[in-house]
């Protein structure tokens, strides 16, 4: 019996260059290799460029993205990792905290494709990571690309997120700019 069919949106196109940062954890190196291959193929197919950095684990992925967002010039981010359930509750902490951190950054307007796999066993991870199967690395890259396209469609260069020095000054605050 076949499972449900999933719709895949057409790849977005861009009139200006797109640069992504792929932040990946090689904790499970075979899964990492498949996820990165899928993400890179999707990024390149969209005509975008990327940099790849490795971090120790899934909890370090959101922190690395936050650092890059503050200190660099990427249009978006692809988070790749894998958390396989073990014998302790550490699995729940890593899954929940990494996902929550990525979601909070996304709600602030940062374009992030979340490809951190949360699975019960290695076989499930392979099925999801393998480019010939579910190809979740490509899916995370596609999500980031679609978010970038959305932000470019509606974004204005003069419209920031959060407080700007002009708003603070209008409210009697001091500008540090």
Q: What is the pLDDT of residues 69-116, one digit of tens each?
A: 999 999 999 999 999 999 999 999 999 999 999 999 999 999 999 999
Longest dimension (CA), the chain: 65
The DSSP result for 57-99, as a single string, is STTHHHHHHHHHHHHS--SEEEEEEEEE--SSTHHHHHHHHHH
Using the CB atoms, write b or e for 58-79: b if 16+ within 10 Å. bbebbebbbebbeeeebbbbbb
Tens-place pLDDT, residues 9-18? 999 999 999 9
Q: What is the pLDDT of residue 3?
A: 72
- Using CA atoms, how far apart are residues 136 and 64, in angstroms rounded to an integer? 20
Q: What is the pLDDT of residue 177?
A: 43
Catalytic residues: 90
Tell me: domain 19-170, CATH 3.40.50.960, correct?
Answer: yes
Residue 53 and residue 24 in contact, taking contact as beta carbons nearer than 8 Å:
yes
pTM of the model: 0.86
Residue 166 and residue 176 in contact, taking contact as beta carbons nearer than 8 Å:
no
Model confidence at 176, pLDDT cuts 50, 70, 90, reads very low
**Residue 6 confidence (pLDDT) above 60:** yes
């Amino acid at each position: 019996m076949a499972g449900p069919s999933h719709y895949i949106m057409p790849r977005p196109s861009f009139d200006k260059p797109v640069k992504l940062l792929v932040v990946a954890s090689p904790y499970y190196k075979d899964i990492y290799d498949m996820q990165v291959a899928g993400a890179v193929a999707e990024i390149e197919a969209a005509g975008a460029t990327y940099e790849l950095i490795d971090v120790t684990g899934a909890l370090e992925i959101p922190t690395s993205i936050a650092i890059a967002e503050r200190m660099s010039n990427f249009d978006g981010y692809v988070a790749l990792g894998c958390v396989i359930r073990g014998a302790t509750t550490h699995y729940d902490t890593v899954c929940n905290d990494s996902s929550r951190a990525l979601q909070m950054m996304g709600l602030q307007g940062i374009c992030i494709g979340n490809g951190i796999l949360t699975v019960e066993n290695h076989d499930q991870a392979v099925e999801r990571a393998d480019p010939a199967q579910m190809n979740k690395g490509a899916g995370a890259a596609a999500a980031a690309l679609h978010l970038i396209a959305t932000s470019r469609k509606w974004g204005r260069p003069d419209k920031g997120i959060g407080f700007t020095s002009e708003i603070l000054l209008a409210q009697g605050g001091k500008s540090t700019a």
